[in-house]
Amino acid sequence: MNEPNPELEKFREKWREEVEAKLRPEISNVVIQSSSETGCLDSASLITLSNVGTPTSSQKLNKLEPHLENHSSSSYIEELIEQDSSFCPQTALEHYEQAVKRENEGNLGDSVDLYRKAFRMDDKVDREYKLKHFPPVGYHQADSNEIISPDTKVVPKSNKHVIDGTSNKVQQLIASFAEISIEPETTTSENKASYCPFSRLPDEIIIHILIFLADIDFAGFVRVAQVCKKMAFLVATEEQIWKKICLESKIGFREMCYEWSQNITNGPFCGLKSSTKSQNQEIDLLSQDKITEILLHKNYSSSWYEMFRLRPRIRYNGCYISKVNYLRPGEASLSQVSWNNPVHIVTYYRYLRFFRDGSVISLLTTNEPVDVVPFLTKDFLETSRNSRGNSQSPSKFMQNALRGRWHLAKYLGNKTGSKIGDFTGNEIISNNSFDEGNVFLETEGANEKYFYQMKLSLQSTPGKKSCKNNKLTWCYFRSINKLTNELGEFLLKAERPFYWSRVKKYGDGD
């Protein structure tokens, strides 16, 4: 029963080799030699430490060193395994060191858990680990229990085993570098305390800065809300900024047209005498501000911010584009028999650009926006009219453009309706049902005998909370005979809504 089992001995030997292989990453260059005479280990002559993997490994060896004299190599390994398995990290740095160790061993699951525990205990534990194991040049962390006399020659740990065998040339080289000073590591940007002088300004000054910014560049003013929580709060809640935007800015409601101000040909409106024009404009501005105040409390909960977002308004820093696709049956070939007929997909575009003076440019073409939008200006419109038939002109895309005028529906208070006259003085449009989102347009016709009349409605794109009043839907589209006032309705079955697109080249739309 007590006879040795060779297979069991081989298994034990193999197991010891595997354990030794696993311990080598932790304790490097540990050489264990057995003595044939005494059969025991001498800690002073048998163990040589050249490079210790981690400080915890050296501490373990120091604790086990008094017991190595009466233990064999296998018992030493077994004791080291038991102590390593029973080690429980306490501080954040110990958790981090164990996580690095598990990661090197390939145990990523335990490594991630230890990393999380370490960072929960100390969010800067990675810097502490880096400072301990990879100290910068010139950095020395003295041990609190270590007392060094002034005459003691300090030698790096990694060079203790070779200091005695250093050649004279190496000693001379070391002496030549002795007087060179090593500059300490400069503080990184991570360790510097962030300081922003702008954050110490009082809110009153910041509000004035934001008011000027909103007047110069409204898009930049909105992007300020992305800087920090304080800016987001001021942009969203400061009512005096939004009041200035609604009443006095270039994109405010004073810049909207609520009555005809021009003829279709972009000339002065004949129904308004030049002598009383400035006086009427002054009265209109005052009444328009009063209407804005009434609607503020009636429809927008006394919030200037909500009023600017939700109240219908025309945008001048871009254009409105409608893309229409429809199918048209093609003609079958007469030379060959086919089982099907060809179908054509026709695509055309409608463009509308509004101006502050009450004029508008309307264009129907098959050219894509990338070709048309840069030329959708009054200058190119006049140039194209003067150079008709010239296909080489850069304004050739504007040859079919039409001049016109526009206005938004005006709030009438307790009045039931009003009559709005066309450029000939005939009262043909009745605005009985008030809806501020209604936009009325009149443009030139296919010839001088007719002109076109459109009614569009400002709406928001569904599903997009940030996009308000960026869509113009059709209400009606008709042609009117100037001589007989006959109306001809166009079918809107194939027509699609206009969507607003910002154009940087237009600037503020002037």
**What tens digit of pLDDT does each residue of 285-305 get?**
557 788 888 888 888 888 999
| Mean pLDDT (whole number) for 157-182 | 65
403-455 per-position pLDDT tens digit: 999 999 887 665 444 444 443 334 344 444 457 889 999 998 888 888 999 99
pTM of the predicted model as reported, rounded to 2 decimal places? 0.58
- Radius of gyration of the chain from its Cα atoms, rounded to whole angstroms: 43
Report the largest interatomic distance among the alpha carbons of the chain, rounded to a whole angstrom. 132
The whole-number pLDDT of residue 25 equals 56
Please give the residue that has the higher pLDDT: either 224 or 38: 224
The whole-number pLDDT of residue 394 equals 66
The tokens of 151 are what? 């005459």
492 Cβ contact list (under 8 Å, min separation 6) = 474, 476, 477
How many Cα atoms within 13 Å fall on the side-chain side of residue 471? 14
DSSP classification of residue 223: H
Q: Which own/partner contact pairs does 262-267 have at CB distance under 8 Å and 24+ positions apart? A: 262/357, 262/358, 262/359, 262/405, 263/405, 263/423, 264/403, 264/404, 264/405, 264/423, 264/442, 264/443, 264/444, 264/451, 265/403, 265/423, 265/444, 266/357, 266/359, 266/378, 266/403, 266/405
Residue 355 has pLDDT above 80, yes or no: yes
The whole-number pLDDT of residue 30 equals 43
| Burial tier of 373 (Cβ tally within 10 Å: 0-12, 13-18, 19+) | buried
The DSSP secondary structure of 472-484, one letter per residue, reads: EEEEEEEEEETTT
CB atoms within 10 A of CB 319: 24
User: Could you tell me the pLDDT band of residue 55, with boundaries at 50, 70 and 90?
Assistant: very low
CB atoms within 10 A of CB 153: 6
